[in-house]
Structures are given as C-alpha cells and as structure tokens.
Amino acid sequence: MSRAFLKTLLTVLLLLHITDAQAIAPVSPAKPSPKDSVQMTKYIYPGAAKCWSEEFSYDGIPFLAAGVLIRSEKKEWQNVRNSVAGDFNTEYDDFVQYSPIGITALLKLCGVKTRSNWWRFITSTGMSAATTAAIAHSLKYSVREMRPDGTENTSFPSGHTSMAFMAATVMHKELGARSPWYSIGAYTIATATGFTRLLNNRHWISDIVFGAGVGITSVNLGYFITDLIFKERGIDARYTGFDKRTDLTENPSFASIGMEIGAATPFKAPQFDSAQQLELKFKPGLATAITAEGAYFFNSYIGIGAQARATVASLEATFSGGNTLQANGLTYKLQSIDPTSFGTIDTNIGPYASLPINRRLRIECKAMAGYRLVGKYDFSGTYTLDANSKAALIKERLENKISQQEYKEQSARFTHNTFLKAATAHSMNMSIGAGITFIPLKNSVARAYVDYTYSAPNISYTLNSDESTDVHTPMHNFNFGLSICTTF
C-alpha cells in the first residue's frame, strides 16, 4: 500500500512541477537585462547573521513548547485514543517517515530544480538527520519515559515523528519556494506518521508534538550549518528567502496546524429510574485541542475550507442524595465520584471570508458544519458502609461471628471502576469562528482564532453495570487557538 501511495504522490508532485514551471514562464518577450539575469541565477552569501534572519524559521519552537505543556494531560489523550481506536495497528509509519526526502531526491533525478545541488542537498540532509537523531535519542535515554503500551522506557520524544518532520522540512526547504503544495504534501505525510504512532499505542501525544518540533528545528540548524560551510556554492538563488512570497494582501489560501485551549458549558447528566435520589451534575474543565485546518480562496475575500479537531477535556461529576450497592448482605453508600476525561473528534467544512488589512495582517471569519464523535468515558465511584450496616457489622465482630480480617475487608471503602459508563456517541455539529492571520517573523506565518461549536449527541449511560438510559446532550464549546501556517 505504501508503494502505491508514494508512486501516486510522486506523480502529483511532478504534475505540480510542470504546472509551476508553466506558471513562472515569462509572458513577455522582453529580454531581461544582464543584471537581472545575474540576480536570478547568482546567490551571494550574505554572512551568518543575514543568513540566519533570511532562512532560519522558528516554526518548530511552538511544537517544543506545546509538547512540554501537554505532558500533564497525556493520559487523558490516551483515554480518547483507547476509546476510538483501541485495536488500531499498522506498520506503514516505519517506512513513510522518510518518504519526503526520497521524493525530493527522485524529483531532482527527474530534473526538478531545487534549492541545493546534490552535494549541498546531501550535506544539509545529513546534518539535519544527525541533529534530529542526536536530540531525540539523548532525550529518550535521559527522560526515560515509559511507552503507553508498557514495552520500554524510551517514549519521549517520538523518534519516528522527529524523523518524519525532519524529512518534511527538508522537502519544504528544497521545494517550498517553488510551490507551497510541496510543503503541504510533505507535512501531511509527517502529521499522518505522528498520529499513527499515537494510534499504534507506541507514544503519548506529548511525544508526538515535541518530536515534530525537534524535526523542524533540527533542519533549520542543519541548513544553517551547511550554509556556513558551502556559502554561495551549489545553491539556486531563485529558491531561497521564502519571505519574498509572503504577502497577506494576496490570495489568502492556507494550510495550518495549531494547538488550542478550550472551555465548554456544563452539559446534561443522566438520571436513572432506580436512583431518583441521585442527582448528577457534570462540569467540563479546561480542554486542550490539536487542529488541522485549510482553506482555498477563489479570490482575496471568499473561499471554502475544512477543519479537523481532536479535543480532550477533564469532566467532573457532582451529586446530591445517594446511591447504594448491596454486597454480602450489607449496604454500601456512594461517597464520592472521581473525575474523568472525555474527548471529541470534529470534522467540518464551510465557507470562509477574509479581508486584508496590510501586507502582514488579515482578518477572517467562517461558518462550518460537520460531524462530531464523542469518545466513551467511565466514572469511578467510591462506596462506604452506611450507618445501619456498619452498626450490624460491629455487632457481629463483638459477638465473634466474624474474624478481624473479615471485619476489615467488609468495612473498608471500595472503588467501583465502572460506576457510570458513557458509550461512544455521534452527532452533527455547527461551528462559527473568527481570527487573524499575521506574520510575526520574517519566515513565519501564524493564525490566532476563536471558534464556537454546537452539537447535541445522544449519549447512552449505564449505572453500576445495570441500568441504562439515553440523554440528549447539547454541547457548547469555545476554542482559542494559535497555529503555524503555510500560505499558497
């Protein structure tokens, strides 16, 4: 399957190269001046400081920061993975991670002009791969994080994801200035590799996000070192300085990936016929989300786009009244409910509108509709003996009808791990949003945005593995996000 995929992608990229070459072909018979010709073909090394400011990208830094910040929520993300893809298993990520570099090399063999000649390309790639491996493996054997499947303690960061984003960034460096579609294709492969590692239960979400930052940053360091070595030798001036094409007054089509925090209003909790005295209330906590988004604009103002978002939030259950369980002729009363977490996966599509403010800033809005998957989740409940049962148990112990060990076992509190279970649910959703696209640094484009999403899934709950009920559950979610962006 991976070979067929690579062949298809290579064909598409070659077609893009042909289209791109036609697009940049001169449309005027006017002959360029000798000065213009030299400027188009001759690269003059500007020095280390200028090279850093012109070519180095800080796009990996947000991934590094986010990977550290969401480590505290890794188990919540893993619960969502277990609820929606518990049996997922594939090995294609072992091979696809390097494919952007292979595709770039094949395109060079086919005559596609890239940023670097062969010697410079090999050196840059080698420097980048070595830096990625050094950072990833030094962290693996110093942090010693256990993998979620419990096999070994080399989880943080994800080496596969680091290498995949390293390979994607090499392709972006070599071909991204020709057409952003090369970059989009490469980073799509890298993102798919990272999520496959998560779905295979080999890594936590924090390993994936941090690994992406390692790969991106390592390439920028590798290419900077190579630039210091080669200077102006073996580089094509036409494909350097990505900032030359970043002008937000032009067509605002984009692709982005970002991190978000979110909040949700309290949603409806179930009520059970046999436990009328138990009044449950649910309160969602702070949410974190990862969103991939893109839009194609027909002109500078109107377009259509799509979005995929995975969200995880803590969920607290409070109650008044009580719920009881019978065991060994004794009555146990619900004392507390432990918090849990739940996750949603949203996919949406709809129209976008955008308005340029200046070269470095645009504002946008959107209205979307789509599908929501709510993952299953469980609440654990802690039970203790009620007053009457405890008095009866004490009496039996005083009369030596039960042993001290039996008294301890029967009087101890216990936890019912599936006190309340929620099944996987589905629904349609509607979303509106607004944001800004801006250029924070010379070689970076970013988006800051806020989204509101409404859905109303019908969630099935089971109490104490016995009684079930369905609840129509309106959900109101607000997400505030920041993403890195590729314009095209």
Chain centroid offset of residue 152 CA: 24
Return the structure tokens found at 486.
């590729």
Backbone phi, psi, residue 45, to 5°: -65, 120
Sequence-separated (6 or more) residues with CB below 8 Å from residue 313: 76, 262, 264, 284, 285, 286, 287, 288, 341, 342, 343
Inter-residue contact 213 to 162 (CB < 8 Å): no
Dihedral of the alpha carbons of 284, 290, 296, 300, in degrees to the nearest 10? 70
Say how far apart CA 360 and CA 398 lie, in whole Å.
Answer: 81
Helices and strands counted in the chain (H then E): 13, 14
Inter-residue contact 358 to 250 (CB < 8 Å): no
One pLDDT digit (tens) per residue for the chain, 488 residues: 444 444 444 443 433 343 343 333 333 344 443 333 334 457 888 888 888 877 788 889 989 999 998 888 888 888 878 877 777 888 888 888 999 999 999 999 999 999 999 999 999 999 999 999 999 999 999 999 999 999 999 999 999 999 999 999 999 999 988 888 899 899 999 999 999 999 999 999 999 999 999 999 999 999 999 999 999 899 988 888 654 556 788 888 999 999 999 999 998 999 887 766 788 999 999 999 999 999 999 998 999 999 999 999 999 999 988 788 888 888 999 999 999 989 999 999 999 999 999 988 999 999 999 999 998 899 999 999 998 999 999 989 898 988 999 899 888 988 988 899 999 999 999 999 999 999 887 778 899 999 999 999 999 999 988 889 999 999 999 999 999 888 87
Inter-residue contact 58 to 441 (CB < 8 Å): yes
Return the structure tokens found at 470.
């369905």
Write the pLDDT tens digit of every residue in 196-205. 999 999 999 9
Say how far apart CA 444 and CA 23 lie, in whole Å.
Answer: 24
Say how far apart CA 114 and CA 239 lie, in whole Å.
Answer: 7
Write the pLDDT tens digit of every residue in 14-67. 333 433 433 333 333 444 433 333 344 578 888 888 888 777 888 899 899 999
Strand ranges, E, within 408-474: 414-422, 425-438, 445-455, 458-463, 467-472
Whole-Å CA distances, 175 to 21, 229, 473: 12, 21, 48
Inter-residue contact 243 to 54 (CB < 8 Å): yes
438 SS3 class: strand
Q: Which domains does the chain have, with CATH numbers?
A: 2-245 (no CATH), 254-487 (2.40.160.20)
